[in-house]
Structure 1
Amino acid sequence: MQDRLAHTAARVEAELDRLLPCPEDERYRLGEAMRYAVLGGGKRLRPFLLLESAGLFDVPEDRAMRVAAALEMVHGYSLVHDDLPAMDDSELRRGRATVHRAFDDATAVLAGDALLTEAFGVLADPATHPDAEVRIKLVKGLSEAAGLHGMAGGQALDLAAESQAGDLMLKDIIALQGRKTGALIVYACTAGAELGQAGDEAYRALAAFGDRLGLAFQIADDLLDHSGSEAETGKPVGRDADRGKATFVDLLGPAGAEEKASDLLAEAREYLDLFGPKADFLRAVTVFVLERKA
């Protein structure tokens, strides 16, 4: 599994490098910041899920790789903006200085804006899929996953939760994290079905798989923030507790949170039964999510 993840990460890195050349004019610093944000690190879990789900429907790899790269641009933009002083005020990401520290706040804002915008340009390009209807579905799906009803909306709920952590219940945390973290993971799992023009049954199964996987991934993140180390994660730990955020660990305790994640991952695997052995690497991801250290 680790070898396949590493191989996928290298291929995604090469595609991002190709799609984000650095302009040789006054925009150079911005281009450099964009590349700094998305190149040279990361698990590339979302692209991995997208490429594996596309493989279930024998989607040509060059098409799936473009969508995977677009998704990683959006994920990269979200990290750049999350790290800003106005948000989480983080100094470290993936073991190195965050973009606003390596460059400056204004450049970091522009780099995030540009990455988000470039992603939709990649999806809308006919090179991504010859059928315009498929491209429109990919654009619409990513806009929903990243916008008010997805990641950005989840981040807004997360900011609001800092002042009401003691009042939040499990259902509230699930709703919050289902948007903030889960929406892009669900998109990663379903975009392959869109590319392969799969039927509703396959789409729903992958959406349900992604939903459970996304929540389990966030629980694992909470556990790492609670008991991991900066050396392992490549970013500061204990920040959620410092900011008074309610997490799965707060509500369930470490043992309860780990049990909840295990139950979610068992459910996730059941939704892959439809695809037989072709989904074995997606099944393997469910083990990786809980055992990861970063």
Structure 2
Amino acid sequence: MQAHLDVAIGQYDGTVAEAMGYASRGGKRLRALFVMEGARLHGIAPDHAVWPATAIEALHAYSLVHDDLPCMDDDDERRGMPTVHRRWDEATAVLAGDALQTLAFELVADPRGHPDGAVRADLGLSLARAAGAGGMVRGQALDIAAETAPTPLTLEQITDLQAGKTGALITWSACAGPLMARADQKPLKTYGDCIGLAFQIADDVLDVTGDPEKTGKAVGKDAAAGKATFVSLLGLDAAKRRAADLVTEACDALAVYADAADSLRHAARFVIARDS
């Protein structure tokens, strides 16, 4: 996966391309895994599935670069390294993020990803919807607005916010395989919806209990900012139980695939067991 992304970025040169490569290194690659495993379950060849899998990692990298900017979360460290705007400057970070976003659509539309242009168009359309003003961007906007809201968000509001900010791209990743196969997306959509929310709850838990040396970023920021989170509203133990219940629901949704989906079951459990 990294090699495929390196080749895609390597067609360009200059500081922006260097920053793109820097921003896309490391990480858990969970979204790419969901694409590849969902494709495998539906008989899609790996050399086709790798294109949307690489695309979602490029898009995710863009979101992190922009999320770290001073006008957003203002973070100095990501994955144990200086954030892009600290390593270079804010203008380079904005442009690198922009370029990673457009690269994602270049990759998802590449004819080598699927021979049927209609399938590639559906992948691009659904990715745009997941990433844009009705999905991830909407979630980020709600998160920013919450920082100055007169009252903390409710549990329902936080769930809605995170379904966009974190969940939309995870659900797209889970559904890409059946979409490519023109198969029923419902089992993997349920899986993706549950894992997206469990992932964010686990992040909220790590913000309270995590070790910065392992997470690769600052912890305790939410509490310091007085932000409402799953942990602040549910309590630590109840938040952990909610995440575990979501993982169970996600795994149950995979019953139609029997043992063939065990890799996705392992990934689901990892989501709430991780320390970074």
Q: Tell me the TM-score normalized by structure 2.
A: 0.97
CA distance in 2 between counterparts of 1:166 and 1:221 reads: 22
Q: 1:190 aligns with which of 175, 178, 184?
A: 175
> Is 1:157 aligned to 2:142, yes or no?
yes
Secondary structure of the structure 1 residue equivalent to 2:133: coil
Q: 2:197 aligns with which of 198, 204, 215?
A: 215
Over 3 Å counting, the alpha-carbon distance change for 1:56 and 1:277 in structure 2 is same
> Is 1:57 aligned to 2:39, yes or no?
no
Over 3 Å counting, the alpha-carbon distance change for 1:226 and 1:196 in structure 2 is same
| Contact 2:51–2:110, Cα closer than 8 Å, also in 1 | no
What's the counterpart of residue 282 of structure 1? 264
Q: Match of 1:161, as an amino acid?
A: A
Over 3 Å counting, the alpha-carbon distance change for 1:120 and 1:169 in structure 2 is same
CA distance in 1 between counterparts of 2:34 and 2:150 reads: 32
Secondary structure of the structure 2 residue equivalent to 1:20: helix
What's the counterpart of residue 24 of structure 2? 38
Q: Match of 1:224, as an amino acid?
A: L
Q: Match of 1:69, as an amino acid?
A: T
CA distance in 1 between counterparts of 2:2 and 2:41 reads: 22
Q: Match of 1:277, as an amino acid?
A: D
Q: CA deviation at 1:167?
A: 3.7
Segment of structure 1 superposing worse, 277-286 or 235-244: 235-244
| Contact 1:165–1:246, Cα closer than 8 Å, also in 2 | no
What's the counterpart of residue 254 of structure 2? 272
Q: CA deviation at 1:287?
A: 1.2
CA distance in 2 between counterparts of 1:45 and 1:165 reads: 36
Q: 2:7 aligns with which of 18, 39, 48?
A: 18
> Is 1:248 aligned to 2:230, yes or no?
yes
Q: Deviations over 1:103-135 (max 9, x none)?
A: 110000000001101111111121111101100
Q: For residues 19-168 of structure 1, what are the structure 2 equivalents within 5 Å?
A: 19-21=8-10, 23-24=12-13, 28-39=14-25, 41-164=26-149, 166-168=151-153
| Contact 2:152–2:227, Cα closer than 8 Å, also in 1 | no
Q: Match of 2:242, as an amino acid?
A: K
Q: Match of 1:225, as an amino acid?
A: D
CA distance in 2 between counterparts of 1:245 and 1:13 reads: 35
Over 3 Å counting, the alpha-carbon distance change for 1:270 and 1:165 in structure 2 is farther
Q: Match of 1:106, as an amino acid?
A: A
| Contact 1:22–1:32, Cα closer than 8 Å, also in 2 | no
Secondary structure of the structure 1 residue equivalent to 2:72: coil
Secondary structure of the structure 1 residue equivalent to 2:44: coil
| Contact 2:167–2:196, Cα closer than 8 Å, also in 1 | yes
What's the counterpart of residue 231 of structure 1? 213
Secondary structure of the structure 1 residue equivalent to 2:10: coil
| Contact 1:222–1:249, Cα closer than 8 Å, also in 2 | yes
Number of corresponding residues: 276
CA distance in 1 between counterparts of 2:230 and 2:151 reads: 12
Over 3 Å counting, the alpha-carbon distance change for 1:233 and 1:146 in structure 2 is same
CA distance in 2 between counterparts of 1:101 and 1:164 reads: 29
CA distance in 2 between counterparts of 1:229 and 1:183 reads: 27
CA distance in 2 between counterparts of 1:48 and 1:243 reads: 33
Structure 1 vs Structure 2: percent identity of aligned residues? 50
| Contact 1:99–1:108, Cα closer than 8 Å, also in 2 | yes
Q: CA deviation at 1:257?
A: 0.2
CA distance in 2 between counterparts of 1:62 and 1:36 reads: 25
Q: Match of 2:110, as an amino acid?
A: D
Runs of 4+ in structure 1 over 4 Å off: none
Q: CA deviation at 1:286?
A: 1.7
Gap regions ≥5 residues in structure 2? none
Q: Match of 1:286, as an amino acid?
A: A
